[in-house]
């Protein structure tokens, strides 16, 4: 992903509300599966890491990106933004700049 594409996605993510909260139990298989489904449906999602979670946002984002085959757009404090293009090109909602 180029820096221009990352910047474009960051701009889109500014208006998004977090759809997942990761808490004390950290990353469970259920959360990972739910994030994968949400990425398939939305392509770009925002996640909040709660204060009672022992892991930091960077480590959680790296693990989630690896498990869901997505890309980390940004991590700011306890907010994570992930992007994964839809498999079917006709269903893609986000068109990245070249």
Does residue 95 fall inside a structural domain? no
Is the entire prediction scored with pTM above 0.85? yes
- Residue-wise pLDDT for 29-76, tens only, equals 999 999 999 999 899 999 999 999 888 889 999 999 999 999 999 999
Does residue 92 fall inside a structural domain? no
Edge-to-edge order in the sheet of strand 20-22: 20-22, 44-49, 79-83, 71-76
Does residue 41 fall inside a structural domain? yes
Does residue 97 fall inside a structural domain? no
Task: Provide the number of structural domains found in the chain.
Answer: 1
Cα-only R_g, the chain: 13
Q: What is the pLDDT of residue 50?
A: 93
Q: H or E stretch including 1?
A: none
Q: What domain range includes position 58?
A: 3-86
CATH number, domain of 36, equals 3.30.110.60
- Residue-wise pLDDT for 76-93, tens only, equals 989 999 999 988 777 778
**Buried/exposed 43-61: b ≥16 CB within 10 Å, e otherwise:** bbbbbbbeeebeeebeebb
Alpha-carbon distance 57 to 12, whole Å?
Answer: 20
Are 61 and 72 in contact by the 8 Å Cβ rule? The answer is: yes
């Amino acid at each position: 992903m180029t820096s221009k594409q990352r910047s474009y996605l960051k701009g889109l993510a500014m208006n998004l509300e977090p759809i997942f909260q990761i808490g004390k139990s950290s990353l469970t298989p259920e959360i990972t599966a739910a994030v994968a489904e949400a990425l398939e449906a939305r392509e770009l999602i925002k996640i909040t890491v709660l204060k009672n979670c022992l892991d930091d946002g960077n480590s959680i984002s790296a693990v989630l990106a690896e498990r869901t085959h997505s890309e980390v757009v940004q991590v700011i404090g306890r907010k994570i933004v992930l992007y994964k293009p839809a498999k079917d090109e006709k269903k893609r909602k986000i068109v990245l700049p070249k």
